[in-house]
Amino acid sequence: MPPETNPAPAFDVVVVGAGPAGSAAALEAARAGLSVALLERGPYPGAKNVYGGVVYGRILDELVPGWWEHMPVQRWVTRRSTMLLTGSQALTVDFRAEDWGRPPYNGATAFRAELDGWLARLAEEAGAVLVPSTTATGLLRDTAGKVTGVRTDRPGGDLTGRVVIACDGVNSFLAKEAGLFAKVSGKQAEHTSLGVKETLALPREVVEERFGLSGRHGQDIEILGGTGGIPGGGFLYTNLESVSVGVVLSLTGLTASGVRPEAVLAGLKEHPAIAPLLRGAELKEYSAHLIPEGGYDTMPELVTDGMLVAGDAGAMCLAAGVWLEGVNYALGAGMYAGRAAAEAIAAGDTSRTGLAGYRRLLEESFVLADHRRLRRVPGLVFSDRVQRSYPGLLCDVAQGFFTVDNPRPKPGLRRLVSDAARRRGVRLRHLLSDAFTSARSFR
Partner 1 sequence: MTQTSPQGQRPAVSFEDRMATVDFRVAERAHITVDTDVCRSCEVRACVHACPAALFVPTDDGGILFNYEQCFECGTCYQVCDAPGALTWSYPEGGHGVAFRQG
Ligand X SMILES: Cc1cc2nc3c(=O)[nH]c(=O)nc-3n(C[C@H](O)[C@H](O)[C@H](O)COP(=O)(O)OP(=O)(O)OC[C@H]3O[C@@H](n4cnc5c(N)ncnc54)[C@H](O)[C@@H]3O)c2cc1C
Q: Which is nearer to partner 1, 44 or 323 (CB)?
A: 44
Distance of closest approach, residue 164 Cβ to partner 1, in angstroms: 17
Nearest approach, Cβ of residue 68 and partner 1 (Å)? 21
3-state secondary structure the chain: CCCCCCCCCCEEEEEECCCHHHHHHHHHHHHCCCCEEEECCCCCCCCCCCCCCEECCCCHHHHCCCHHHCCCCCEEEEEEEEEEECCCCEEEEEEECHHHHCCCCCCEECCHHHHHHHHHHHHHHCCCEEECCCCEEEEEECCCCCEEEEEECCCCCCEEEEEEEECCCCCCHHHHHCCCCCCCCCCHHHHEEEEEEEEEECCHHHHHHHHCCCCCEEEEEEEECCCCCCCEEEEEEECCCEEEEEEEEEHHHHHHHCCCHHHHHHHHHCCCCCHHHHCCCEEEEEEEEEEECCHHHHCCCCEECCEEECHHHHCCCEEECCEEECHHHHHHHHHHHHHHHHHHHHCCCCCCCCCCHHHHHHHHCHHHHHHHHCCCHHHHHCCHHHHHHHHHHHHHHHHHHHCCCCCCCCCCHHHHHHHHHHHCCCCHHHHHHHHHHHHHHHC
Window 203 to 262, contacts with ligand X (CB under 6 A) = 246, 248
The set of residues, in sequence order, having a beta carbon less than 8 Å from that of 268 and lying 6+ positions away, is 85, 223, 226, 227, 234, 245, 247, 274
Among partner 1, ligand X, none, what binds residue 199 when CB lies within 5 to 8 Å by partner kind? partner 1
For the bound state, the minimum distance from the C-beta of residue 249 to partner 1, rounded and expressed in Å, comes to 9
Among residues 2, 43, 407, 412, the one that binds partner 1 under rule CB under 8 A: 43
| From candidates 17, 20, 22, 46, binder to partner 1 by CB under 8 A | 46
Q: Which stretch binds partner 1 (CB under 8 A): 90-98, 130-138, 309-317, 376-384?
A: 130-138
Q: Does 17 help bind ligand X (rule: CB under 6 A)?
A: yes
Q: Give min distance, CB of 152 to ligand X, in A.
A: 7
Find the part of the chain contacting partner 1 (CB under 8 A) among 12-20, 205-213, 250-258, 399-407.
Answer: 250-258
Among 11, 26, 42, 90, binds ligand X (CB under 6 A): 42
- Closest Cα partner for 268 from 84, 441, 3, 432? 84
* Residue 20 touches ligand X, criterion: CB under 6 A: yes
Instruction: From the list partner 1, ligand X, none, pick the one residue 259 interacts with, judged by a Cβ distance below 5 to 8 Å according to partner type.
Output: partner 1
CA 37 – CA 160 distance, rounded (Å):
10
Number of residues that bind partner 1 (CB under 8 A): 55
Q: Which of residues 154-173 bind ligand X (CB under 6 A)?
A: 167-169
Q: Does 271 bind partner 1 (CB under 8 A)?
A: no
Q: Which is nearer to partner 1, 195 or 295 (CB)?
A: 195
Is 229 a binding residue for partner 1 by CB under 8 A? The answer is no
Of 78, 86, 109, 134, the residue at the interface with partner 1 (CB under 8 A) is 134
407 binds partner 1 (CB under 8 A): no
Residue 192 touching partner 1 (CB under 8 A) = yes
**Residue span binding partner 1 (CB under 8 A) among the ranges 58-66, 283-291, 360-368, 409-417:** 283-291
Q: Which does 330 bind (CB under 5 to 8 A by kind): ligand X, partner 1, none?
A: ligand X
Interactions with partner 1, residue window 195-224 (CB under 8 A): 196-197, 199
Give the count of residues interacting with ligand X (CB under 6 A). 40
93 binds, options partner 1, ligand X, none, Cβ within 5 to 8 A by partner type: none
Rule CB under 6 A: say whether 198 interacts with ligand X. no
- HSE-CB at 258 with a 13 A cutoff on CA atoms is 0
Residue numbers at the binding site for partner 1 (CB under 8 A):
41-44, 46-51, 111-113, 132-135, 137, 152-154, 170-171, 173, 187-189, 192, 194, 196-197, 199, 242, 244, 251, 254-255, 258-262, 266, 270, 275, 279-280, 283-290
Residue numbers at the binding site for ligand X (CB under 6 A):
16-22, 39-42, 48-55, 135-136, 167-169, 195, 197, 246, 248, 289, 291, 311-313, 317, 324-328, 330
